[in-house]
């Protein structure tokens, strides 16, 4: 009977430790769930703001493309201005030459 009692004692201690393990492995408490949800929500909003907000990467790329386009347009307008000024001065000198000839 001593062996049987020792077996029962070992068995009961194993059951107690397994119950402790089961109790400690229960799902998260409500407080932990609320805190986790709040942190995940703020992280999501922050990432959304980075991707689609006022300072987003896509907006930065659009502004760089617009800057490049405007620089090209500036060069084209300067070239047009030079061409038009040459044409104007040629017409002006031709007009002066015509007036001098009269």
Question: Which of 17-26, 64-73, 76-85 is least confident?
Answer: 17-26
Q: How far apart are CA 86 and CA 2, in angstroms?
A: 119
Main-chain dihedrals φ then ψ at residue 26, nearest 5 degrees: -70, 160
Domain ranges of the chain: 56-102
Q: What is the pTM of this model?
A: 0.47
Q: How far apart are CA 87 and CA 83, in angstroms?
A: 6
The per-residue pLDDT for range 32-55, each reduced to its tens digit, is 889 999 999 999 998 888 878 777
Dihedral sign from CA coordinates of 34, 36, 38, 41: negative
Residue whose pair of structure tokens reads 């502004």 in the numeric block: 63
């Amino acid at each position: 009977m001593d062996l049987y009692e020792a077996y029962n004692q070992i068995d009961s201690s194993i059951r107690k430790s397994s119950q402790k393990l089961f109790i400690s492995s229960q799902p998260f408490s409500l407080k932990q769930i609320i805190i986790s949800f709040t942190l995940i929500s703020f992280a999501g909003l922050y990432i959304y703001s980075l991707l689609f907000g006022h300072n987003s990467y896509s907006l930065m790329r659009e502004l760089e493309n617009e800057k490049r386009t405007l620089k090209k347009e500036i060069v084209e307008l300067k070239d047009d201005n030079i061409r038009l000024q040459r044409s104007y001065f040629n017409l002006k000198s031709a007009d002066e030459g015509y007036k001098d000839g009269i």
